[in-house]
Structure 1
C-alpha cells in the first residue's frame, strides 16, 4: 500500500482535473464493513453518505457479496443475445416491487444511461421530441441527460439539446410548500398550453438529491400527472437516488400516491456493483421494438447481485428501518436547528435522505462553512455528503443498516462543531 500522498499524486498526474474530492486532507479508504469504512491506518469512519445512496445494504455485506462471488465463479459475462437466468429472474422480481403496471425492464449500467434510455423511449412512443424538466434537477452526464439537468455546475457541455423547457421547482425558501408547488404547476400549465403537442415527457426526481434534498408538497405530483396526461405527455420518475427503500418506501413516488409512466433506477439496486434499468408498462415498452442491447446491462454478476439486494431489503425490512431511523435522525437535526438557528437555515427530506442547509454571511461563506464542517466531521470519524445549488447543504444518506448509536454519535459530534462555529 503506497499511502494517501502517493495516491493523491497519481490522481493529479493521471486523472482529468474534473475529478475532485470533498476534503483538504482526504483519507485513503481501503476497507468497508456494513456502515463503516476504514483508512490505510485502520481508522474507522461511520459512513453517512453511502457513496451517494449506493450501498444501502452496507459495505461488503456478506449476504450479498457471497452471492456475487458465487456468480463470478459460475458465469461472469454474456450479453442479452444469449439466455441466462439471473437477468430474467431480476426482471420478474422487479415487476413485483415496481408500482402499478411497470413490468417491463431494460437493463443498463448507470443512472445516466437509464435516464437516457427512458427519454429515448418517450420520444419513440409519443413521436415527439421535447422535454420538460425542473430547475436544479440532476439526471446524468450524457448529452441528453445533461440537457435536462438544471444545476449549472453539471451542465458542462456547451452544445446541449435545445428541446428542453425548464420550469421552476416546487421549492422556494420565501414561499410555503403549497405556494411553491402551485407556482411550479402554473409554469407547467403554461408550457403545456404553449407547446404541449411537441413535448414527449417530463422527467423529475421525486426528491431532488443534488439540488439540496428538496421534497415537494405531497399533492404536487398528484396534480402534475393529470396535467401531463391531458396533453399526452409522459412522466419519468428519476429514482436513481431515491429508489429501493431510502425514503421509507420502496420507491419515493409512493409517498405522492402516483404511478409514473416510467421509472429509472440504479445505485442501491447493485449495492456498489454497476446495474441500472428503466421500466415501463407493456404499452409504452412496446415502442422500443427494433433490435437493441446493452453490452454489460443485466450481466449475470450484476443481476445476481441485484437479486441478493432485493432479498436483503425484504428480509431486513429496510424501507421500514429507513422510516424509523430517519425520523430519529431528522428530529436530532431539527433539535440542532433550534439550538443553532444562526448556523442552520433548514432541515428537510424524508427517511434516510435528509439535508441540513447551513448559513453564512453570504453564499460563499455558507459553502466554505459547509466544507469546514465536512472536514471536522471526517476528523471525528463521520463521512457526510454535501449538495445544493450553493453547495451548502449537508447530505445525510447513510447505509440503511445504520443503527441508533451511530446516529446519536454523529449528532453529538455535529453539535460539538456547531458550538465552536
Structure 2
C-alpha cells in the first residue's frame, strides 16, 4: 500500500517543535515507519525492514496480526469503554483466561496500562500486605520509569536529580559474564560465556557468592523484615542479562525468611518469549506477585498485576481505581493474543528459531574479537560488544552507533541495551522464521565486518 501522509521532512520538523526532546529518535538518520505486518515494517518510501526489536519487545505475535486486529475491530464496533466498575463480558472472560495461565493461587487481576504502572501497584501491594517498607532490587535492573518505580531502577542513566529511592536497596547484579563471578557453566542458555569457572553439575559457586552478597545487604542495610524483592526473569533494558542457575530460587527463600514477598517482572519475559509461557518457570519459583505488560497486548496499551487473594485484599481498606484498566478493547485484544500464542504455536517457535539464532550468533563471537558474549533464551537474546575479549571493556558509543546505523541501512531493526548501550537487543515478534534469523545474522555480521575494515 503506497503511503499517503505527512512527509519525512514535515515529521522531523514537528518532532523538533512539538515532541519532547527527552524522547530521542532511534538512529542518526531516523526512519519513519508507516506500516507493519507480522515481523516486517515499512517506511514512507516503501523500504521494508525486518523488525527484530518488536517495538521494544512489545509486538509479541506480529504487527497487525489478522486475528488480533479482527478482535479489536469487532469490539470497537460494540463497546469502546465503560470502565471496570461495570460488568462487561470481555473483562471477565479475559481475567479468567489470563489467570488460568498462572500457577497455584495466582488468580486475582488488577488491570492497568503500562509496565511502570503495574510495578507501581506491585510495590504498593508488597508494602501494604507485609507492613514493611524496604524493597530489594538488583543493580542493572529496569523496572519502570515513573517517579515511584525509578527507585527500583538500577541503571543510573535513567535517574534524574530528584528525591527517589526511599526504602529501595540494590543488591549486586549476578551477571556471569560481566560480574565478579561466573563462567561457562552458570546460566540457563544454549550459549554459555567463554569465561572459565569451577562450577559443576547442580552446583554453581557463582550463585552461592552472589547470594552471599544479597545476605550481606539484608544484614547491613535493611530492617529484619522487608516488603519484598523485585526481579526480572532475564534483565531486559539491562542487556539481556541472565543470572546463575538457582539464584532466584535461593533469593526468594531468603526474602521469604525476612517476611517479604517475591515479585516477578514478566513485562518482557512473559507470554512465551523464552520458550516457556513465563520466564519464572525457568527458575523453579512461584512468585507472590507477577507484573505483566508489553507483549500482553501486542502493542496495545495493556498491563496487569496478578497475585493471591490474601495479598489483593489488603487494598480493600482504601479506594484504588484505574479508569482504563480492563478496558473492553484492551481485554478483547489481550484475549486474542493468548489464542494466537496457542494457535500459531509461538512458544515452540521461540524455542526452535531462538536456539537456531543463538547458535548462529555464537559463530560471530568466535570470529570477531569485538563480539564478547551471546546469551539469552528463546527469542530474548543479547549480543554484548566489547573492545576485546580479555578486558571485556564495553565497545565505545561511536563504534556501536556505526554498526547500529549500518544494520538499519541494510534493512534490519535491532535494539540497544546495557548500562553502556553496548548490547544489541534481539527481541522480535515471536512469529519470525529461521530464514529471518539467518538474515539477522548475515546483516549483523556484514555491519561488524564493515566496521572492522574502517
Question: Given the alignment of the two structures, is residue 383 of structure 1 paired with residue 406 of structure 2, yes or no?
Answer: no
The equivalent residue for 2:329 is 301
Per the TM alignment, residue 157 of structure 1 is displaced from its structure 2 partner at its CA by: 4.6
1:206-285 equivalences under 5 Å are 206-285=233-312
Per the TM alignment, residue 45 of structure 1 is displaced from its structure 2 partner at its CA by: 0.3
Question: Given the alignment of the two structures, is residue 399 of structure 1 paired with residue 405 of structure 2, yes or no?
Answer: no
Per the TM alignment, residue 259 of structure 1 is displaced from its structure 2 partner at its CA by: 0.4
Paired with 1:318 and 1:349, the residues of 2 have a C-alpha distance of: 17
1:317-332 equivalences under 5 Å are 317-332=345-360
Q: TM-score scaled to structure 2, two decimals?
A: 0.90
Q: TM-score scaled to structure 1, two decimals?
A: 0.97
The equivalent residue for 2:39 is 35
Paired with 2:131 and 2:114, the residues of 1 have a C-alpha distance of: 26
Aligned with residue 57 of structure 2, among 50, 53, 56: 53
The equivalent residue for 1:71 is 75
1:22-421 equivalences under 5 Å are 22-172=26-176, 173=178, 174-176=180-182, 177=186, 178-194=204-220, 195-289=222-316, 290-340=318-368, 342-360=369-387, 365-420=395-450, 421=452
SS in structure 1 opposite 2:384? strand
Paired with 2:126 and 2:219, the residues of 1 have a C-alpha distance of: 19
Q: Which moved more, 1:38-47 or 1:167-176?
A: 167-176
Unaligned runs of 5+ in 1: none
SS in structure 2 opposite 1:143? coil
Paired with 1:154 and 1:31, the residues of 2 have a C-alpha distance of: 30
Cα separation, partners in 2 of 1:91 and 1:308, compared to 1, 3 Å: same
Paired with 2:239 and 2:224, the residues of 1 have a C-alpha distance of: 32
Paired with 1:123 and 1:364, the residues of 2 have a C-alpha distance of: 37
- Higher helix proportion, which one? 1
1:259-298 CA distance string (max 9 Å, x none): 0111000000100110001010122122121332100011
SS in structure 1 opposite 2:324? coil
1:189-229 CA distance string (max 9 Å, x none): 12333434342011111111111110112211111111111
Q: Is contact 2:181–2:209 with CA below 8 Å preserved after alignment?
A: no
SS in structure 2 opposite 1:348? strand
SS in structure 2 opposite 1:286? helix
SS in structure 1 opposite 2:269? coil
Q: Is contact 1:196–1:233 with CA below 8 Å preserved after alignment?
A: no
Q: Is contact 2:234–2:242 with CA below 8 Å preserved after alignment?
A: yes
Per the TM alignment, residue 37 of structure 1 is displaced from its structure 2 partner at its CA by: 0.2
Paired with 1:124 and 1:377, the residues of 2 have a C-alpha distance of: 47
Q: Which moved more, 1:374-383 or 1:192-201?
A: 192-201
Count of residue correspondences: 420
Paired with 1:179 and 1:11, the residues of 2 have a C-alpha distance of: 51
Paired with 2:277 and 2:135, the residues of 1 have a C-alpha distance of: 27
SS in structure 2 opposite 1:74? coil
Paired with 1:182 and 1:134, the residues of 2 have a C-alpha distance of: 16
Paired with 1:293 and 1:147, the residues of 2 have a C-alpha distance of: 23
Q: Is contact 1:64–1:309 with CA below 8 Å preserved after alignment?
A: yes
Unaligned runs of 5+ in 2: 187-203
